[in-house]
A and B are shown apart, each in its own frame.
Chain A
Amino acid sequence: MAPHTLSSPAPSSSAPSSSAPSTSAPVLPQPAAPTTTGAHGPMPVPPPRGPAGRALADVLLRPSPGPAGDLVTEALLATFDDAVVAALAATDDLLRDDDLQVTLLTLQELHYGGLAGVDDRWEWSPELLRTRGRLQDAQEAVLRELVPVPDVPAGATAQEVAEALFALTGAEGGPGLSTYLARTATLEQAAELVVHRSLYHLKEADPHTWAIPRLSGVPKAALVEIQADEYGGGLADRMHAALFARTMRALGLDDQPGAYVDHIPAVTIASLTTMSLLGLQRRLRGAVAGHLAAFEMTSTTPNRLYGNGFRRLGFDEEVTRYFDEHVEADAVHEQIAARDLAGALAVDDPAVRDDVLFGAALCLALDTWVAEAQVAAWREGRSSLRRPLPAGDGATRDGAA
């Protein structure tokens, strides 16, 4: 292993960093001081990657006209819708289509933290909702074609659904991303993993939170219990998104949402746009529950391995706390999510039972596609990002194998 360089621990850290190298480390950007709240502004409009995204950017530059309308904006909205229709007709792989994934991500972000410099009223623009509906419906159709509903006998109890989910999520397979990180990844590759994950983990838990008011009874209580823990149990600096931001800073990475969005390949974006399209539609509440259950059920072992990988690379608790926390937290969450969320919902609400199972399978499929692309790139000696990280962000060029 070549000697590597990394940012020193954040100034507030008093933990001994016996494993952190101190010999002749070049000066690298210091991580921003940790905030106590983790609060941040809206993300910048993601740079477009094609005609649909450019047409959307043209719309979002303008104020939302409201019911009165305005001819120029209406023309730009029509141009945008036409561009999406054309791009949907032309694409042969929506999940890996850079232009359409960035476009959908941008539209959905209007419902989360918003976009810097963009009129918040665009969130409920009927025209943008219509165009977003085209993208989401097309994506859902592709996913339903690619991901079969797991077979679980009708009349299964909540416990039996939970057991089926544990069997599904425990099956061997996958490209071995976490094992690669634990044993093989270079510092640069480890930083890339964090950049891929930053898209979701800086808003960790938010896509599933949309489902809370759409549920009731035991499944609702279960989801609230999980999400409350995800959001730090009332302590802002324990929010999982805040812990992830801290890991990014300790690696010398920019923790502002969207800082690396232009580096992130379409298929990674598709995993978030899928979560959001599930969360934003009441009709798909079953799939949200199944998705979260599978997410929690496939978390403890990979996070242990990620933590081990960063320790192998010489990082201390400032970087690994996020991963270590998830080993403990998700061992709790998976039990709640399997039985009281997914299992109970499948029994209580037969209309969404198959979607609970579909959502779980979807989570596994998306994880696999994202991980396959990363591991394949690294095995071929390439960056797994659209372009490598700027020198000094998380790793130096010299540190790469």
Chain B
Amino acid sequence: MSGAPTRVVACPDGPLLVRGDFEVVDADGRPVERTRRTVALCRCGSTGIPPWCDGSHKVVGYRTPRTAAEDPPRG
């Protein structure tokens, strides 16, 4: 991982997937314990284990707007 930038994947209809060298802190700057290299951060607001995703976006039908690249015009 060293040398490579930290990468965040904005998963359509889902969480932010974060890979690389990073630290997750709470609103007061205190580190949040992390037990895995790659994490999924909740962005639907429905998770029961914040700040991590727990799959609840699927239960509540969370939808993200598509970027142009994600929703190309059909031929």
A-side residues, CB < 8 A to B, are 159, 163, 166, 170, 225, 228-229, 233, 238, 299-301, 304, 327-332, 334-336, 339
Contacts and interface: CB of A to CB of B under 8 A. Distances in A.
A186 to B, nearest CB: 25
Contact of B37 (A233, A300, A304, A331): A233
B55 A301 contact: yes
Interface centre among B38, B49, B54, B55 (most CB of A within 10 A): B55
Contacts of B70: 159
Contacts of A332: 17, 36, 38-40, 53
A331 B55 contact: yes
Nearest to B57: A331
B75 to A, nearest CB: 9
Contact of B36 (A300, A304, A329): A329
B58 A335 contact: no
Contact of B49 (A225, A328, A334): A328
Contacts of B49: 327-328
A299 B40 CA distance: 15
Interface string B6-45: 0001011111010000000000000000011111100000
Contacts, number: 62
B37 A334 contact: no
Interface in B46-75: 48-49, 52-56, 58-59, 70
A225 B9 CA distance: 15
Interface residues of B, number: 23
Given A233-B37, A327-B49, A336 B17 contact: yes
Contacts of A170: 58
B55 A327 contact: yes
Contact of B35 (A238, A334, A336): A238
B11 A304 contact: no
Given A159-B12, A336-B17, A331 B53 contact: yes
Nearest to A324: B49
Contacts of B15: 331, 335
Contact of B52 (A163, A225, A331, A335): A331
B54 A327 contact: yes
Contacts of A233: 35-37
Given A170-B58, A336-B17, A225 B38 contact: yes
Contact of B40 (A163, A166, A335, A339): A335
B54 A331 contact: yes
